[in-house]
Structures are given as structure tokens and as C-alpha cells.
A = this chain, B = another copy of it.
Amino acid sequence: MTVIFSKKCELALQAVLYLSVNKDKNFFSASGISEQIKMPKEFIAKILQSLVSHGIVVSKKGKTGGFNINKPLNEIRLIDIVAAVDGLEIFHKCVLGFEGCNVEQPCPLHNKWGKLRDMTYNMLSEETLLDILDKTEEKIKSINPANI
């Protein structure tokens, strides 16, 4: 069954990673971010607004306003962003959707899929934004050296 994550979530991750390398600078406007990650600014704004309501991002209105990360980088895991945008339902759902499943008579995919699904979950939970900051910086810099 279905998704690792949606496009919305992909965007959210990109935006947050982008913000994470600039956390100590000023707030970044939706349009500024949208130039960097090449996505419609209205959509970015919308997504970031929802991350604000989840406490991951903080926003500031007005002329010098924009968005920034709301917590220390070591307190935000990738899975937190996925959870905020897509929810965690996927990580509890089965692959095939046959009815009447029970542990004694799983379908051929139950165990194997379950393992992969858990590994994916763990991968996203393992590291905080701080842990991957170096790699993220490299990446963001390679997109536009002016970013850092």
C-alpha cells in the first residue's frame, strides 16, 4: 500500500532543510524560499503555515517577516516533518489490504513488507536535522553557493 511520502511532504522536507542551514540568520520569506527550491511560493507558504501550527517552524509577519526553524536542530527529526504533513498512518498499514488478516495467516508480503516499512520509519527517525546538517549544507551550497 501506497506512499512513502507525498509531494507536499517532499516540498516540506526541502524547505525545512533549506531553513535549517540558515537558522541563525533572519527570517526567510516564502518567495525567497520558492526561488531556491523552484516551487510556487503560494504552495510553499501554505505548507510552511501548517508546519507553523505543528510547532516545527515559526513565522513572523510584516516587512522583515518570513519563516524560520522553531526549535534547536537536534530536536527535529525528519519523521517529525513527515508526521506533520502526511501523518504516520502509512507506517501502520498493510501492503495488500486483504481483509481479515491475523498474525497466524499473513499473506506472502506481510513480514517482508513490514520489515522494509519499519526500516524506512527508522531511517527517518534516526537522525535529527543537526546530525545531517553538514551534508545538508553541502547540498544546499551545491544548488546555490550564495546560500551559506
**Interface residue stretch chosen among A4-12, A23-31, A40-48, A55-63:** A4-12
Does A107 reach chain B (CB closer than 8 Å)?
yes
The 0/1 profile, CB within 8 Å of B marked 1, for residues 19-38 of chain A is 00000000000000000011
For A119, the chain B residues whose CB sits under 8 A away are 116, 119
- Which of chain B's residues have a CB closer than 8 A to the CB of A97? 10, 14
Residue of B nearest to A90 (CB): B4
Residues of chain B within 8 A (CB-CB) of A10 are 1-2, 95-97
- Contact assessment for B2 and A5 in the assembled complex, using a CB-CB cutoff below 8 Å: yes
A89 on interface, CB distance cutoff 8 Å: no
Residues on B with C-beta less than 8 A from A4 are 1-4, 95
B-binding residues in A (CB < 8 A): 1-7, 10, 13-14, 17, 37-38, 78, 95-100, 102, 105-109, 112-113, 116, 119-120, 123, 127, 132, 135-136, 138-139, 142-143
